[in-house]
Amino acid sequence: MKNTKNNKSMLAPGHRGCAGCGELLAARTVANALGPNTIIANGTGCLEVTTTPYPQSAWRMPWIHSLFENAAGVASGILAALKQQKKDKEIKVVAQGGDGGTFDIGFGLISGMWERGENILYVCYDNEAYANTGMQASGATPWGSSTTTTPAGEGQTIDAIGSHQRKKDMIAIALAHGLNYVAQTTAGFLSDIEAKVKKAVTMEGPAYIQIMTPCIPGWKISPDQTLAMGRMAAKTGLYPQLEYINGELVNKTKITKPIKVGEYLNAQGRFKHLFKTEQGKEQIKYIQSLADANIKKYGLDK
Ligand SMILES: Cc1ncc(C[n+]2csc(CCOP(=O)(O)OP(=O)(O)O)c2C)c(N)n1
Ligand SMILES: [Mg+2]
């Protein structure tokens, strides 16, 4: 067995995340890419709850949790204090949280932090629902997903398909704030996460990285499917790997042979109901049209 004392990972093993958790895998990759001269402000959610059961912490770096909604506000305060001490050039401030904390509940403070142009990296771990409290739908929940607040049902009403709200386009919202660095990737590509974090910290001003992180119980997948789901999400076109610098799309990972969304959806329990009814099958066609639109919008086939 590995001696954990010699394990230099910034996020130690032995935390309470589910086996195969995409969020923990991505967070460890982010933390290792950031290194020790970093202070992280974390919103409430699975990432916080599983890594810091009081009085323990799995973080081998300065890390603070205050409330669900205020990771960005806490990060702004930390940066102000570092500036006062003239340490803001040597220590990187990072705020992070889940999709609920980012797309919905913490959004006001994130928008303010971006508006102020502060030199803070924000990382969103997007498992497409409020996972920590039992998988309620968030602004990041995709069309057709069954969650505890949008449960799939019987019959022909639109409610039977699960969520029938479009996923909020946070990448476009981040770009609209004029951020210098905006990127998207998934937990299926750990070296891509690492490269994007390392790039983001070289940029002056606010930066945003959004990482799709498959959730074992919430997506009703097995622990060995995390990487495959992350990769498939990108390769369908539903969750492309993108990198914007100064508002320009400078990097996109090409999709030469797109995977059909049906293959991706059928692998997950949260979409299983769509395959059982005619109405559901219509939704699969609609979800395919969303993936196709992304491929066109970002020129992923070129
Ligand atoms: C103001 C406030 N509202 C609700 C909660 C309850 N709550 C804690 S964690 C959580 C879900 C977090 O979801 P997300 O941000 O997507 O992170 P995940 O757990 O999915 O990683 C909720 C609703 C809270 N702690 N504070
Ligand atoms: Mg979530």
Mean pLDDT of the chain: 96
- Is any atom of ligand 1 closer than 6 Å to the C-beta of 127? yes
Residue count (the chain): 302
What residues sit around ligand 2, an ion, with C-beta below 5 angstroms? 98-99, 127, 131
CA of 44 to the centre of ligand 1 (A): 6
CA of 86 to the centre of ligand 2 (A): 35
pLDDT value of residue 155: 87
Across 5-19, 43-57, 145-159, 242-256, least confident range: 5-19
Which pTM does this prediction carry? Answer: 0.97
The CA-atom distances, in angstroms, between 29 and each of 12, 99, 125, 220, 224 are: 11, 18, 12, 24, 18
Region 223-243 average pLDDT? 98
Substitution site in 102, 125, 133, 168 for ligand 1 pocket (most atoms within 8 Å of beta carbon): 133
Q: Which atom of ligand 1 is nearest to the CA of 140?
A: 16
pLDDT value of residue 2: 46
- pLDDT tens digits for 1-42? 344 454 689 999 989 999 999 999 999 999 999 999 999 999
CA of 45 to the centre of ligand 1 (A): 5
Q: What are phi and psi of 244, to 5 degrees?
A: -115, 130
pLDDT value of residue 5: 52
pLDDT value of residue 209: 99
Nearest in space to 240 (alpha carbons), one of 293, 161, 284: 293
- Is any atom of ligand 1 closer than 6 Å to the C-beta of 101? yes
Substitution site in 128, 130, 212 for ligand 1 pocket (most atoms within 8 Å of beta carbon): 130
pLDDT value of residue 113: 98
Between residues 83 and 6, which one has the greater pLDDT?
A: 83
CA of 270 to the centre of ligand 1 (A): 20
Q: Tell whether the model's pLDDT for residue 293 goes beyond 80.
A: yes
- pLDDT tens digits for 95-109? 999 999 999 999 999
Write the DSSP symbol of residue 71: H
- pLDDT tens digits for 97-143? 999 999 999 999 999 999 999 999 999 999 999 999 999 999 999 99
Give the number of the ligand closest to the Cα of residue 43. 1
Residue 181, beta-bridge partner list: 207, 245
Q: Which atom of ligand 1 is nearest to the CA of 43?
A: 15
- pLDDT tens digits for 168-207? 999 999 999 999 999 999 999 999 999 999 999 999 999 9
Q: Domain ranges for the chain, please list them.
A: 4-297
Q: Tell whether the model's pLDDT for residue 83 goes beyond 60.
A: yes
Q: Tell whether the model's pLDDT for residue 88 goes beyond 50.
A: yes
Nearest in space to 152 (alpha carbons), one of 239, 279, 263, 260: 279
Annotation: CATH topology of 4-297: Rossmann fold (3.40.50)
- Is any atom of ligand 1 closer than 6 Å to the C-beta of 47? yes
pLDDT value of residue 7: 63
Region 247-251 average pLDDT? 98
